[in-house]
Amino acid sequence: MYHCVEHCEDDNFAYAGEQFADIQMLRYKVNGLEALTQRQHTLIWHLAEAALWGRDILWHQNCRYNLPIRRLFEHIFRSYKGDRTSAGFKAFELYLKRMWFSNGIHHHYACDKFQPDFSREYLLELMRQTDVEGAHSDIFADTLHTNDLPQTLDELLEAVFNPQLHAKRVNQAEGEDLLLSSACNYYDDTITQSEAEAFYEQAKSKYLDSIEQSQDDGYSKGPVMLGMNSKLVRANDGSLQEKMWVEDGMYGPAIKKIVAHLQAACDFAENEQQRDVISKLVEFYRTGNLRTFDIYTILWVAETQSRVDFTNGFTEVYGDPLGLKASWEGYVNFTDPVATERTERISREAQWFEDHSPVDARFKKKKCCGVSAKVINAALLGGDLYPASAIGINLPNNDWVRSTYGSKSVTIGNLTHAYDMAAQSSGFREEFIDDAETLQWIKKYGDKCDDLHTDLHECLGHGSGQMLPGVDLDALKAYGSTIEEARADLFALYYLADKKLVELELLPDEEAYKANYYSYLLNGLLTQLVRIEPGRNIEEAHMRNRSLIAHWVLDNYPHALQLVTNADGKTFLRIHSYSLLRDAFGALLAEIQRVKSEGDFDAARELVERYGVTVDAKLHEEVLARYKKLHLSPYKGFINPRYETVSDDKGHILSITPHYDESFTEQQLRYSKDYSC
């Protein structure tokens, strides 16, 4: 069911757009582009093209059926001449839009496979009317050199309509084989969890033996992120081996396009350091050498002078149930110098925050180095950051690089602004907050505190603390991502209530933090449940993190807060002591940091499984019913601007101009046409 939504406008710019299923599309405005130079415009354009050429890589990583199913559905959508207003075709179109949004046939957040609201017979009829057999070679073309695509239409139909087949993209349920029960395409579908874990344990031993013998390249050495840029496959003799994602290997055709635009971008780099960063990334794409990747990240962290910046490559590991393989993502941005002054104030005080942390002294860094932070405007989102995007990012993910050389943290200002503008007058807060004083507090300070929470989480939280010597970076296994997100959130929560933020003029007074405390706990205990289907538990790492924190505090600090039910049967949050809440966040931060620093797998499993996973069915039913009456969408995503270039008679780009006239459907069809090998 589609329905229009009221535009919320700022300077006549429409941020809120189309709604479908559980999704609302937003637009973000690329403010400040006009102040950049011709060279910066050209740099952004080439980096944006490089970010778009990785699109099909992510689709294939998410499930090996994704690309041919998308091609099949897009062929039908473009070719069908029948009644496009019928209930059947509208259901078909809805499935296609959900697939576009999630980069595949599984929900982007919940990871459950979509169930079509049209029949197999109806799809077969659409296929007959659009000559799918004539398009067979295009639908099943192995354009990424993967050698693992299905080859028959029957296989695609089974993947779409059989609810038991490939039911979860990423399964995190305790007690199940996480690989055999996950549809993500990072491992051959016959490889078990124990086989994969044993393979990489052996690979770590070989790597540690060889690293001491490696040539000195001028940089510190540490454990590389083994497996991050490969698929683990079973050879004909039954042994396991890696298929590398490199220019002359798997994903080669797309990587060649990415490399070509990265090389073109080098000619317009803002300084020699940025040119070195891009060149080293090109070298990594060509060789797949993980030591080269570490050097690239070291160079990228150190390059802080350029106005334009980017990420491009295999980055986050949330899509792998074992937390090893990295999904492809890319985005292009440029600094907002006024807003960045806020994050710089935080990053300059990194050592003070580390020294005053409530964690055990053994787990504190003696010297915080290289913490850079800024507020940026996104120029384009790609891969795993599109259409749904993070609003704050901290990289690199390699702990030893972060500890030795530092990290870059960003808050994406024009995305948070788009969220804020689209949320005006939604009625959401009024439905779930029944205390007038708290509601006013959140309306007054909520957005400011939320931005500051993101800054603290990304700028300092992820970069805080240290591992004990000899602890395996992957010791927490499937629970590692949840523990790491909880650690960064708790760091932010603990320091939001510190008078240091008032002294730094980041908060107006020492009470403002209460807005974030209430909103965060409300989300962890109640409102994030709107993102979960009835009867399901929590699977996604960020949601598990918020649930873990909120329920641990509720269980261990009952005098600080409680859930109450009013006469109408509605549940609300009551906070009795904000000072006790800060004590609770500090205590849990100390334990979470211990768990990570010591690699205490059993404690990680206990915390996550006890507090982060289970959903109260009755409370869930109530929250869903209340939310449904608001006619809101629990998930938001973005439509990229469409860039128009102005060039001289020699083809040199003079400027780029963003246009916001493209619909979600138009953009997806254009990307499939222009950015598929």
The structure's pTM equals 0.85
pLDDT class of 370 with cuts at 50, 70, 90? low
* pLDDT in the model for residue 176: 94
Strand order in the sheet with 407-412: 308-316, 327-335, 371-383, 407-412, 392-395
Lowest mean pLDDT among 133-137, 226-230, 459-463, 614-618: 459-463
* Residue ranges in 84-175 assigned as alpha helix (H): 87-102, 120-129, 136-139, 153-161
Cβ proximity of 87 and 123 under 8 Å: no
Of all residues in the chain, the percent with pLDDT exceeding 90 is 86
- Residue whose C-alpha is closest to residue 114's, from 63, 76, 180: 63
Cβ proximity of 61 and 327 under 8 Å: yes
* pLDDT in the model for residue 213: 58
- Give how far Cα 400 sits from Cα of 260, 406, 465, Å: 31, 9, 11
Provide the angle, in degrees to the nearest 10, between the axes of the packed helices 664-674 and 66-79.
Answer: 120
**Confidence check: pLDDT of 240 > 70:** yes
Instruction: Report the pLDDT averaged over residues 611-620.
Output: 97
Give the span between the Cα atoms of 44 and 431, in whole angstroms: 42
Instruction: Report the pLDDT averaged over residues 254-278.
Output: 98
Instruction: Report the pLDDT averaged over residues 302-310.
Output: 96
* pLDDT in the model for residue 8: 40
* pLDDT in the model for residue 211: 60
**Confidence check: pLDDT of 4 > 50:** no
Cβ proximity of 315 and 300 under 8 Å: no
**Confidence check: pLDDT of 614 > 70:** yes
pLDDT class of 209 with cuts at 50, 70, 90? low
DSSP 608: I
Q: Which amino acid is at 560?
A: A
Residue 23, H or E segment: strand 23-27
Q: Which residue matches tokens 């800054």?
A: 455
* pLDDT in the model for residue 214: 65
Provide the angle, in degrees to the nearest 10, between the axes of the packed helices 337-348 and 436-455.
Answer: 80
pLDDT class of 210 with cuts at 50, 70, 90? low
If 0-12 CB within 10 Å is exposed, 13-18 middle and 19+ buried, where does residue 427 land?
exposed
Query: At a CB cut-off of 8 Å and minimum separation 6, what does 427 contact?
Result: 630, 632
Q: Pick the residue with more confidence: 357 or 420? A: 357
Instruction: Report the pLDDT averaged over residues 184-207.
Output: 93
Average pLDDT, the chain: 94
Cβ proximity of 548 and 604 under 8 Å: no
∠ CA 425-426-432, rounded to 5°: 115
Give the span between the Cα atoms of 188 and 194, in whole angstroms: 13
What's the distance, Cα to Cα, between the start and end of the chain in Å? 33
DSSP 374: E
Of all residues in the chain, the percent with pLDDT exceeding 70 is 97
pLDDT class of 289 with cuts at 50, 70, 90? very high
* SS3 (DSSP) at 407: strand
* pLDDT in the model for residue 174: 87
Give the span between the Cα atoms of 228 and 240, in whole angstroms: 16
**439-451 burial string, b = 16+ CB within 10 Å, else e?**
bebbeebbbbbbb
**pLDDT tens across 415-436, in order?**
999 998 887 768 899 999 999 9
pLDDT class of 6 with cuts at 50, 70, 90? very low
**pLDDT tens across 94-141, in order?**
999 999 999 999 999 999 999 999 999 999 999 999 999 999 999 999
Instruction: Report the pLDDT averaged over residues 170-180.
Output: 94
**pLDDT tens across 46-92, in order?**
999 999 999 999 999 999 999 999 999 999 999 999 999 999 999 99
Q: Which residue matches tokens 């296929």?
A: 127
Instruction: Report the pLDDT averaged over residues 203-210.
Output: 74
Lowest mean pLDDT among 18-22, 193-197, 391-395: 391-395
* SS3 (DSSP) at 131: coil
* SS3 (DSSP) at 3: strand
